[in-house]
Chain A
Amino acid sequence: MSPAERFARLPDLLAADSDLRRRGGWLTADCRIDIGTEPFYLTLREGALAEFARGPRLLRSVAFSISGTEEAWRRHWQPVPEPGWHDLFALTKRGAASMQGDLRPLLQNLQYFKDLLALPRRLAEAA
């Protein structure tokens, strides 16, 4: 499974995690996550995915976006990631990922987003 294919499973992974949705209960934000060159648009409402769109959307506005290389996400989603690939900020520090836009909703809900973006790790054994 490619990293983008794994990320495409995010709605099921989040739906199965009631604790993460509880922790995101105050979160409402639109953001874009780039898995390599493939964008995903997330419409988050009270911690749940109200909409999840794969692929480019012309003039689609988001609060912030997080981009990572295919290698960054693949290594981040290893069952036990290696040092330097195990956290979102480890990826940005090494230059394998970046964050743009209004980062306030991201920082206000940082553990939620870190855990959300790590969810595909749970697919590792099926990969």
Chain B
Amino acid sequence: MAPAIDPVIGRYVRFEIDGVAHRVYFEEAGPEGGGGIPLVCLHTAGADSRQFRHLLADPAVTERYRVLAFDMPWHGKSTPPDGWERAEYRLTTASYTAAVRAFCKAMELDRPVVMGCSIGGRIVLNLAIEHATEFRALIALEAADFQQPWYDTAWLHRPDVHGGEVCAALISGLIAPQSPAVSRHETLWMYMQGGPGVFKGDLYFYRVDGDLREKVKSIDTRICPLYLLTGEYDFSCTAEDTLRTAAQIPGVKVQVMKELGHFPMSEHPAKFREYILPVLAKIAG
């Protein structure tokens, strides 16, 4: 019997972000003959690109799209840059934007679609604000211009509380109760594996540095179409947060996803594809 190998290839790419050398891990899958519309996927805070493994293995997506999901530096199999031990990790709007653009440039992608979730969704909004001409379309999952904090991130990185377990336990409530148990626990497992302080450092962008209120009003969807999709069980980025954001952006397409939470692509892949396949079909034209 032939080996049961997933139709996904994982490799490392080397490039600089703001003048600092990085070795970044990514996975990709696309049409059998090559080509396809590049679709870059951005994982949530404190997690990695494995969240998109079902999308990468979905022929309904990869027959038209070249899907690329990379681990942000400090996440998954992308190691931190040399000297990381001498500074506290903090993601910022500028450093995150630079990382996404650097990946797209290093991979020589021609006007890719970018789809990000949570912090990845928030940075997609910033791409729409600052760099819309570089992208074919933008998809923000679980995204808003601002969200009300619901816990103190100091708990995420201290020696008397297990970082992996507390990160997973906190975000477990953002998963919809309808999500299959196996997918719920796979999603939690990824959170249990984050490096110390990385989730907290990502949330610096989310909580402190990435407030996009007012700025989203400048988004021009005639330059680059923008789609917002949020799960109804996400109480971190609520449906109301997303709808409030969408109300400020003429031409945006917004949808609240039933029976889904903050991690649609990994917590309930079958349900998510009901929502994302029509969006991808529309973008592909």
Give A residues with C-beta under 8 Å from B: 80-81, 83-84, 86-90, 92-94, 103-104, 107-108, 110-111, 114
Please give me the 10 A-B residue pairs with the lowest Cβ-Cβ distance, nearest first. Answer: A87-B173, A110-B169, A111-B169, A90-B235, A93-B150, A83-B232, A83-B233, A107-B155, A107-B161, A108-B161
In the complex, the answer to whether A92 meets B172 with C-beta atoms within 8 Å is: no
Please tell me the number of chain B residues within 8 Å of chain A, measured between CB atoms: 23
CA distance A90 to B165 in the complex (A): 19
Give 22 CB contacts A-B under 8 Å. Answer: A80-B177, A80-B178, A81-B177, A83-B232, A86-B173, A86-B176, A86-B233, A87-B172, A89-B150, A90-B235, A93-B235, A103-B155, A104-B161, A107-B161, A110-B166, A110-B169, A111-B165, A111-B169, A111-B172, A114-B169, A114-B172, A114-B173
The total number of A-B Cβ pairs within 8 Å is 51
| Residues in chain A near residue B170, CB distance under 8 A | 89, 110
Min CB gap B263→A, angstroms: 14
Closest to A103 in B: B155
How far apart are A96's CB and chain B's nearest CB, in angstroms? 12
**CB closest residue in chain A, given B150:** A93
* A83-B233, A86-B173 known; A93-B165 Cβ under 8 A: no
Is the beta-carbon distance between A110 and B235 smaller than 8 angstroms?
no
Residue B214 CB within 8 A of the other chain: no
A-B contacts besides A89-B173, A93-B148, A107-B161, 15 pairs, CB < 8 Å: A80-B177, A83-B232, A86-B176, A86-B177, A87-B172, A87-B174, A89-B150, A89-B151, A89-B235, A92-B150, A108-B160, A110-B165, A110-B166, A110-B169, A111-B168
Annotate B146-163 by CB proximity to A: 1 below 8 A, 0 otherwise. 001011000100001110
By a CB distance below 8 angstroms, the chain A residues around B155 are 103, 107
Q: Which residues of A contact B162 (CB under 8 A)?
A: 108
Taking Cβ atoms with an 8 Å cutoff, the residues of B that contact A are 148, 150-151, 155, 160-162, 165-166, 168-170, 172-174, 176-178, 232-233, 235, 238-239
Cα(A107)–Cα(B162), bound, Å: 9
Q: Which residues of A contact B151 (CB under 8 A)?
A: 89
Please report the C-alpha to C-alpha distance between residue A92 and residue B233 in the assembled complex, in whole angstroms.
15
B contact residues around A81 at 8 Å (CB): 177
CB distance from A30 to the nearest CB of B (A): 18
- Is A87's CB under 8 angstroms from B169's CB? no
CA distance A103 to B161 in the complex (A): 11
Give the nearest-CB partner of B165 in chain A.
A111
Name the A residues within 8 Å of B232 (CB-CB).
Answer: 83
Cross-chain contact of B173 among A80, A88, A103 (Cβ < 8 A): A88
**Closest partner residue, chain B, to A81 (CB atom):** B177
Nearest residue, chain A, Cβ from B231: A83
Contacts of B168 in A (CB 8 A): 111
Distance to closest chain B CB from A71 (angstroms): 16
Q: Provide the bound-state CA to CA distance between A94 and B142, in Å.
A: 19
User: Complex formed: what's the CA distance from A80 to B232 in Å?
Assistant: 13
